[in-house]
Amino acid sequence: MKLKTELSQIGEMRPGSLSQQYSACQKRGCKCVDPVKPKKHGPFYQLSYSHRGKSTTQFVRPQFLTQVRRQLAAYKRFKTLTEEWVALALELSKAKLEEARLAASKPKRTR
Ligand SMILES: [Zn+2]
């Protein structure tokens, strides 16, 4: 089955989404509170995800961004493939039940 092969080839993965944040520390004299040309600190990268009903947000250091983005993409692929698998399983199950129902309703010819 093609789906199974593809699923087995998925590498490191993790659920979630990345967002960029900027912040102002509000310290006097800092560039972020400059009255003329304020420049906030950032970007900071935040990763948000929920697992088993609990949502979490954590910061991601810039040097891990590439790796994390790759893991997020792998997880999306995983989700797509498992959804396809479930859809196929449902179809197959439905077809089998229908087949069994038809077989049961057919008059039996034993003679
Ligand atoms: Zn500042």
> What's the predicted TM-score (pTM) here?
0.75
> In this structure, which amino acid lies at residue 103?
A
CB 60 within 8 A of CB 47: yes
**Does a structural domain hold residue 41?**
yes
**Does a structural domain hold residue 7?**
yes
From the CA of 32, how far away is ligand 1's center (Å)?
Answer: 4
Q: How far is CA 99 from the centre of its chain?
A: 36
From the CA of 22, how far away is ligand 1's center (Å)?
Answer: 10
**Does a structural domain hold residue 91?**
yes
Q: What is the pLDDT of residue 106?
A: 77
CB 7 within 8 A of CB 74: no
**Does a structural domain hold residue 105?**
no
Along the chain (111 residues), what's the average pLDDT of each consecutive run of 10 residues?
90 96 94 95 96 96 96 97 96 96 81 64
Neighbours of ion ligand 1 (CB under 5 A): 25, 30, 32
What does the block give as tokens for 40? 């906030």
What does the block give as tokens for 68? 């994390």
**Does a structural domain hold residue 49?**
yes
**Does a structural domain hold residue 96?**
yes
Q: Helices (H) and strands (E) in the chain — how many of each?
A: 2, 3
SS3 108: coil
**Does a structural domain hold residue 106?**
no
Range of the domain at 76: 2-100
**How many structural domains is the chain composed of?**
1
